Chain A
Amino acid sequence: MTTTAVNRPETAVLFDVPGPRARRRNRIIGVIGSLALAALLAYVISRFATTGQFSSTKWSIFEYANVQRTILDGYLHTLYAAAVAAVLALLLGAVMAAGRLSDHLPLRGSSFAFVEVFRAIPLLLLMFLFYYGAPSVGLRFAPFWAVVLGLTLYNGAVFAELFRAGVEAVPRGQSEAAYAVGMRKSQVMRSVLLPQAIRSMLPAIISQLVVLLKDTALGFLVTYDELLKQLKQLATAGEFEFPLIPLVLVGGAMYVATCLLLASLARWLERRLNRSARTAAPDAGEGDRDGDRDQSGVTAAAMARTVGS
C-alpha cells in the first residue's frame, strides 16, 4: 500500500488512475473550471475598480505616520489581550482538568458542569455579561477585562477538555506501571502522565490559541481598542474618501499573517516532538497500539473543537 500511495494524489481513494478518456475529460473540466474562476475574480476586481477602491487617495492614508501608529497600536492591543487571556485560560484549564480527573465525585461533577456550561455560552455573551451586565450588581470592568475574562472562561473550559482528553489518551499501562513501582497519584500525574500527554496535546493547544487570538476581535463589540475598532475609526476619514475597504484588507492581512505564523509554529513543534519521540522512546509493543488509537481520537476531537467562534 505504501509504495502505491506515494506516487498518487490524496484523491486516490476516490478515483482510479485516469486513463486517456478520463484525462481528456479532466482537462475539459479543468479549462471550464479555470475560466469560471477567472470570471469570478474578474467580477470581484471590476467591483472594486468601478467603486473606486483602488484610487490612490484611499490608499494614501497608509502613508501617514499617525495612521500607521494607530493601526500598530490596535494590533498591539489585540496581541496584549490575547497573551493575557492565553495565560489565564491555560491556568484555568489546568485547574479544571485536574478537577475532572479527580477521584472525588463533587470535584469531578462541578468541574464537568463548569466545562459544559462555559463551552455552551456564546463567547460574545460572556463579554456582554462582564461589560454590560456586571455594572447592575455594582461591578465595573474595563473593556479590556471584559474581553480577557470572557476569553479566559470560554477557552479555559475548552483547554480543560483538551487536557483531560490528552491525559486519558496516555496508554493505561503507563500509569499502572508507575503505581506498581510505588509512585503516588500526584507523582504518577507529574512525572509519567503529563510529560507524555503534553507532547501529544501541543498542536491542539496551539490551534486553540489561534482561535483565542482571532476571538479578541469580538472586543470590537464591547468597545475595546483593538485592531478592528481602530480600523473603523480610521475609515471615517472623509479626506481619504472613507477608505474602509483598503483598511479591512490590510487588517485582514495582519490577522491572517499572525495566525499562519502561529499555525506554522504548531507544525514545527509537532515535527520536532515526533522526531524526539522516536529517538527517546522506542516502540512499546502492544500498549503502543492502544496509545495510537486514543491519540487519533484526541486529535479528531481537538480538531473539531478548534472551530471556536
Chain B
Amino acid sequence: MSEFVRTFTDNRALFQHAFWNTVQLFVLAGIGSVVFGTVLATFRVSPVPALRAFGTVYVNLLRNTPLTLVFFFVAFGFPYLQINLSFFAFAVIALTAYTSAFICEAIRSGINTVALGQAEAARSLGLTFGQVLRHVVLPQAVRAVVPPLASILNALLKNTTIAAGFSVAEAGSIRANLSELGYPVLDGLLWVVIGFLVLVLPIAALQRRLERRWTIT
C-alpha cells in the first residue's frame, strides 16, 4: 500500500503537469468544438444548399470515423501536407474536428424539438425575429440541447487520453513516464484512473440532473 501511495507522492510534479495538459486540451478543444459545432449547425439549417450539403457531409464523415483515425491523420498526415505545428496543437485540432460534429447534431436536433406552433404563435403576436429567438425558441431549445451537450463534453474529456498515443504529455502518457522511472505501472495507471473519476463523475452527476430536470416531454 505504501508503495502505491509513494508512486503518487514521488511523482506529484509529473501528475500535476500531465493533468494540467489534459485540462488545457479539454478546455481548448471544448471551446473550439462548441464554436465550430454551432457554425456547422447554422450551416445545416441554413437556406443555402451548398452550406447544407457541406454540413451534412462533414458531420456524417466525422461521426463515422474513429477518433484515433482522425488523430492519425492529423498527427502523422499533416506533416506530409507540410503543415507543421506542435503535437499539442495537432491534438486540439483532432479533438475539435471530431467533437464539433457531435455538438452540431445536438444543437440541430435541439432546435428541431421546439414545436413549430411556438414560433408561429410568437410571429403572429408580432414579435420580431430577434424576439422570437430570444423569448420563445432559444429558451426551449437550450433545455433540449444542454443535457446532450454535457454528455458530449464529458466524452471529450475522456477522449483527451488518446492524445497520449500521439506524443502529447497528458494524463494518458503518465504510464509511459512512470515505467521509464521504474515505478509499478499498475499503481500509476490506477492513480490516473482515480484522477479521471474525480474529474468525470461530477460532470456525469450534473448531466444526470440536467437530463432529469430539463428534458422536454
Q: Which residues of A contact B63 (CB under 8 A)?
A: 259
B interface residues, tally (CB under 8 Å): 74
In the bound assembly, the distance between CA atoms of A62 and B36 in angstroms comes to: 35
State whether A13 and B152 are in contact (beta carbons under 8 Å apart), knowing that A228-B68, A293-B217 are contacts in the complex: no
A255 at the interface (CB under 8 A from B): yes
Stretch of A89-97, A178-186, A295-303 contacting B (4+ beta carbons < 8 Å) = A295-303
Q: Which residues of B contact A300 (CB under 8 A)?
A: 144, 147-148, 211, 215
Contact mask B158-195 → A, CB, 8 Å, 1/0?
11111011000000100100010000111101101100
Q: Which residues of B contact A221 (CB under 8 A)?
A: 68, 162, 164-165
State whether A217 and B69 are in contact (beta carbons under 8 Å apart), knowing that A124-B172, A297-B215 are contacts in the complex: yes
B155 at the interface (CB under 8 A from A): yes
Stretch of B10-18, B85-93, B110-118 contacting A (4+ beta carbons < 8 Å) = B110-118
Contact mask A234-273 → B, CB, 8 Å, 1/0?
0100000010110010011001100110010000000000
Whether B67 contacts A307 by the Cβ 8 Å rule is no
In the bound assembly, the distance between CA atoms of A83 and B98 in angstroms comes to: 24
Whether A10 contacts B45 by the Cβ 8 Å rule is yes
In the bound assembly, the distance between CA atoms of A263 and B204 in angstroms comes to: 27
Whether A13 contacts B137 by the Cβ 8 Å rule is yes
Chain B min CB distance to A157 (Å): 11
State whether A248 and B50 are in contact (beta carbons under 8 Å apart), knowing that A13-B111, A125-B192, A210-B64 are contacts in the complex: no
In the bound assembly, the distance between CA atoms of A302 and B181 in angstroms comes to: 42
Q: Which residues of B contact A50 (CB under 8 A)?
A: 82
Whether A133 contacts B73 by the Cβ 8 Å rule is no
Whether A13 contacts B196 by the Cβ 8 Å rule is no
**Which residues between 189 and 233 of chain A lie within 8 Å of chain B, taking CB atoms?**
210, 214-218, 220-221, 228, 231-232
State whether A214 and B185 are in contact (beta carbons under 8 Å apart), knowing that A9-B47, A120-B204, A300-B215 are contacts in the complex: no
B206 at the interface (CB under 8 A from A): no
In the bound assembly, the distance between CA atoms of A5 and B137 in angstroms comes to: 17
Whether A304 contacts B204 by the Cβ 8 Å rule is no
Chain A min CB distance to B120 (Å): 8
State whether A248 and B81 are in contact (beta carbons under 8 Å apart), knowing that A293-B217, A300-B144 are contacts in the complex: no
State whether A34 and B50 are in contact (beta carbons under 8 Å apart), knowing that A122-B196, A132-B185, A235-B76 are contacts in the complex: yes
Stretch of A25-33, A64-72, A102-110, A279-287 contacting B (4+ beta carbons < 8 Å) = A25-33
Whether B152 contacts A304 by the Cβ 8 Å rule is yes
Residue among A210, A231, A307 with max Cβ neighbours from chain B (10 Å): A307
Whether A228 contacts B69 by the Cβ 8 Å rule is yes
B49 at the interface (CB under 8 A from A): yes
In the bound assembly, the distance between CA atoms of A235 and B75 in angstroms comes to: 14
Chain B min CB distance to A240 (Å): 13
Q: Which residues of A contact B112 (CB under 8 A)?
A: 10, 13
State whether A125 and B45 are in contact (beta carbons under 8 Å apart), knowing that A1-B117, A214-B66 are contacts in the complex: no
State whether A133 and B185 are in contact (beta carbons under 8 Å apart), knowing that A13-B114, A37-B54, A47-B81 are contacts in the complex: yes
**Which residues between 79 and 137 of chain A lie within 8 Å of chain B, taking CB atoms?**
116-117, 119-125, 128-129, 132-137
Whether A125 contacts B196 by the Cβ 8 Å rule is yes
Contact residue among A120, A135, A136 (Cβ-Cβ distance under 8 Å from B200): A120
Residue among B69, B109, B190 with max Cβ neighbours from chain A (10 Å): B69
Whether B123 contacts A215 by the Cβ 8 Å rule is no
Chain A min CB distance to B37 (Å): 12
B9 at the interface (CB under 8 A from A): no
Whether B192 contacts A220 by the Cβ 8 Å rule is no
- Given A231-B72, A242-B80, A252-B65, 20 additional A-B pairs, CB 8 A: A1-B115, A13-B114, A13-B119, A14-B111, A14-B137, A116-B204, A120-B204, A125-B172, A128-B175, A129-B186, A136-B187, A210-B64, A228-B72, A244-B80, A248-B73, A248-B77, A259-B64, A259-B65, A301-B147, A304-B106
Q: Which residues of B contact A (CB under 8 A)?
A: 45-51, 54, 60-61, 63-69, 72-73, 76-77, 80-83, 102, 106, 109, 111-112, 114-119, 123, 129, 132-133, 137, 144, 147-148, 151-152, 155, 158-162, 164-165, 172, 175, 179, 184-187, 189-190, 192-193, 196-197, 200-201, 204, 207, 211, 215, 217
Q: Which residues of A contact B (CB under 8 A)?
A: 1, 4-5, 9-16, 18, 26, 29-30, 33-34, 37, 47-48, 50-51, 53, 116-117, 119-125, 128-129, 132-137, 210, 214-218, 220-221, 228, 231-232, 235, 242, 244-245, 248, 251-252, 255-256, 259-260, 263, 293, 296-297, 300-301, 303-305, 307-309
**Can you name 20 A-B residue pairings with CB atoms under 8 Å?**
A5-B116, A13-B111, A14-B132, A15-B129, A33-B50, A34-B48, A34-B51, A47-B81, A47-B82, A51-B81, A116-B204, A117-B197, A119-B204, A122-B160, A218-B68, A242-B80, A244-B80, A300-B215, A304-B152, A307-B102
